[in-house]
């Protein structure tokens, strides 16, 4: 008995000792992690660091974030909100070398971007992507980043939860208690095998909230980054269905109820109709709606999706060939991601004043409708158009403006439609008038 107790004690002691330092692991992966510095336009005189994590639009002169190498040729993965809208991107490697970086591709729904730096004399050390599906709640992880612009650093924690929906698109996130702060956006989340299982993307900002950070899972990040490098855009799967949690009234079985179906989809051709209940897909029970959406979007066009459905109490099996997401459907999810991410950006100006990065203006909601221009930068497309601070934007593309969201919707629709001009109806001090503004792509 004493021998058994001794062996157990020795086993526990050795394991505790093994967890007292992560120095070897940090030395191994640190060359793959980079700091990212960007220069942006100024609306005020404040100079902030980072992307403010969950607040993606920065009004300061300089932003500091993080990223990591994913290919030896100098390809780097980071968050889109770290670099979007930047006029210059600088990458600082672990050996303190500075490189000008080029934006290779970006994906709005996932908030990811791929950069590239060139060095003909050196190869860069890419990370290894791990399988986040194998990660467990309670696993120890290491978060790398550039908090508050202090320089590359690492923090330790555990996976607190998986499949978190934090209100930015349909993406599911890993939750961790590792210290993730402003400047960590775009940095990697490593497991103890030295594999990246997430991209640090957001923190929960609330009174008394500490140790609540979110990382985009590695499986999604790897899939998106490969497509951005290989083709410059992300090809998403589509089955033409909109679903919600529901119960079949004939059998009381639960699953995903089909609420809408596109008649041009393969699902419609297979006989699936509104009101049908999907009880399983690819042999998985239909319980997690967001997981279902994510899986179908990441399937390659032509792949088979096996469904079990109930229609009027009768169970059937269907095989639906995944199609490439049509432009209109992609436009919808892109708009949703933009709208939800901008909700956080608006908060940085308080409850009353909002900064619209696309127009480089700050506005305040007017009564009974419209947005009053509070501040306008010289680089704003409204500058030298006869619009002055204090004027009110009443309409955008003939639609009444009652909130910032109304104006943002018009701007984003114009950007998606090849950056066509936007028509604004302005109420000035002495008169009202229409003005067309040209939308420009940033960093393309």
pLDDT digits (tens, 9 = 90+) for 78-120: 988 888 877 889 999 988 899 999 999 998 888 899 999 998 8
Using CA atoms, how far residue 203 sits from 140, 176, 182, in Å, is 18, 10, 8
Q: Which of 98-112, 140-154, 201-215, 415-429 has the lowest mean pLDDT?
A: 201-215
Question: Which residue shows structure tokens 């202090």?
Answer: 150
Hey, what domains does the chain have and what are their CATH numbers? 18-235 (2.40.10.120), 237-324 (2.30.42.10), 349-437 (2.30.42.10)
DSSP string of 81-120? HHHTT-SEEEEE-TT--EEE-EEEEEETTTTEEEEE---T
Residues listed for the chain:
444
Task: Say whether pLDDT at 44 is over 90.
Answer: no
- Give the per-residue pLDDT at 45: 38
Backbone phi, psi, residue 365, to 5°: -65, 135
Using CA atoms, how far residue 47 sits from 38, 61, 152, 249, 363, in Å, is 12, 5, 20, 59, 20
Q: What is the pLDDT of residues 115-162, one digit of tens each?
A: 999 988 888 999 999 998 898 999 999 988 776 556 678 888 898 888
Name the active-site residue from 185, 265, 341, 380.
Answer: 185
- C-alpha 28/C-alpha 282 separation (Å) is 38
Q: Is 352 a catalytic residue?
A: no
Bigger pLDDT: 190 vs 170: 190
- Give the per-residue pLDDT at 4: 52
pLDDT band (50, 70, 90) for residue 374:
confident
- Give the per-residue pLDDT at 397: 87
Task: Say whether pLDDT at 65 is over 50.
Answer: yes
Bigger pLDDT: 285 vs 65: 285
- Give the per-residue pLDDT at 175: 85
DSSP H stretches of helix in 348-399 = none
Of 185, 182, 189, nearest in space to 157 by CA: 189
Q: Which of 101-105, 152-156, 187-191, 370-374 has the lowest mean pLDDT?
A: 152-156
- Give the per-residue pLDDT at 227: 92
Bigger pLDDT: 33 vs 443: 33
Q: Which of 30-34, 73-77, 345-349 has the lowest mean pLDDT?
A: 345-349
pLDDT band (50, 70, 90) for residue 9:
low
Name the active-site residue from 111, 177, 276, 409.
Answer: 111
- Give the per-residue pLDDT at 271: 92
pLDDT band (50, 70, 90) for residue 421:
confident
- Give the per-residue pLDDT at 442: 46
- C-alpha 305/C-alpha 322 separation (Å) is 7
Average confidence (pLDDT) over 310-330? 89
Tell me which range, 176-180, 257-261, 327-331, 403-407, is most confidently predicted by mean pLDDT: 257-261
Angle, in degrees to the nearest 10, between helices 327-347 and 404-416 = 140
Q: Is 391 a catalytic residue?
A: no
pLDDT band (50, 70, 90) for residue 47:
very low
Q: What is the pLDDT of residues 336-365, one digit of tens each?
A: 665 555 444 444 444 577 888 788 888 888
Task: Say whether pLDDT at 36 is over 50.
Answer: yes
- Give the per-residue pLDDT at 164: 66
Mean pLDDT of the chain: 80
Using CA atoms, how far residue 111 sits from 108, 148, 169, 215, in Å, is 5, 20, 10, 11
Q: Which of 113-117, 235-239, 388-392, 411-415 has the lowest mean pLDDT?
A: 411-415
- C-alpha 78/C-alpha 186 separation (Å) is 4
Let me know: does 374 contact 364? Beta carbons within 8 Å: yes
**pTM (predicted TM-score):** 0.65
pLDDT band (50, 70, 90) for residue 19:
low
Name the active-site residue from 37, 63, 81, 84.
Answer: 81
- Give the per-residue pLDDT at 101: 93
Q: Is 81 a catalytic residue?
A: yes
């Amino acid at each position: 008995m004493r021998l058994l107790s001794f062996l157990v004690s020795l086993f526990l002691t050795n394991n505790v000792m093994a967890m007292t330092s992560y120095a070897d692991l940090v030395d191994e992966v640190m060359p793959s992690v980079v700091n990212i510095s960007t220069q942006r336009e100024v609306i005020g005189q404040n100079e902030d660091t980072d992307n403010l994590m969950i607040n993606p639009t920065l009004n300061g002169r300089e932003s500091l974030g993080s990223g990591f190498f994913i290919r030896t040729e100098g390809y780097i993965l980071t968050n889109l909100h770290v670099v979007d809208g930047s006029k210059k991107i600088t990458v600082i490697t672990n050996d303190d070398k500075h490189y000008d970086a080029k934006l290779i591709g970006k994906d709005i729904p996932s908030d990811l971007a791929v950069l590239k730096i060139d060095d003909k004399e050196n190869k860069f050390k890419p990370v290894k992507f791990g399988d986040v599906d194998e990660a467990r709640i309670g696993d120890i992880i290491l978060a790398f980043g550039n908090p508050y612009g202090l320089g590359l650093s690492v923090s330790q924690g555990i996976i607190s939860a998986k499949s978190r929906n934090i209100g930015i698109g349909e993406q599911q996130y890993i939750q961790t208690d590792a210290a993730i702060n402003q400047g960590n956006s775009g940095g990697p989340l490593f497991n103890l095998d030295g594999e990246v299982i997430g991209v640090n993307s957001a923190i929960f900002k609330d009174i008394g909230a500490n140790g609540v950070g979110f990382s985009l899972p590695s499986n999604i990040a790897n899939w998106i980054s490969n497509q951005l490098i290989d083709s410059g855009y992300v090809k998403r799967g589509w089955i033409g269905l909109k679903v919600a949690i529901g119960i079949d009234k004939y059998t009381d079985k639960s699953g995903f109820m089909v609420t809408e179906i596109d008649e041009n989809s393969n699902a419609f051709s297979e006989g699936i109709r509104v009101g049908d209940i999907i009880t399983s897909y690819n042999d998985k029970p239909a319980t997690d709606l967001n997981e279902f959406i994510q899986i179908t979007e990441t399937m390659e066009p032509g792949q088979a999706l096996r469904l079990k459905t109930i229609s009027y109490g009768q169970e059937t099996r269907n095989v639906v060939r995944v199609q490439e997401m049509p432009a209109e459907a992609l436009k919808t999810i892109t708009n949703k991601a933009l709208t939800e991410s901008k909700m956080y950006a608006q908060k940085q100006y308080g409850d009353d004043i909002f900064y619209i990065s696309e127009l480089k203006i700050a506005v305040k909601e007017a009564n009974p409708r419209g947005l009053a221009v509070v501040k306008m930068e010289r680089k704003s497309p409204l500058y030298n158009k006869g619009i002055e601070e204090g004027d009110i934007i009443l309409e955008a593309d003939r639609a009444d403006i009652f909130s910032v969201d109304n104006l943002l919707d018009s701007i984003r629709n114009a950007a998606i439609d090849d950056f066509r001009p936007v028509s604004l109806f302005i109420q000035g001090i002495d008169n009202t008038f229409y003005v067309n503004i040209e939308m420009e792509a940033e960093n393309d």
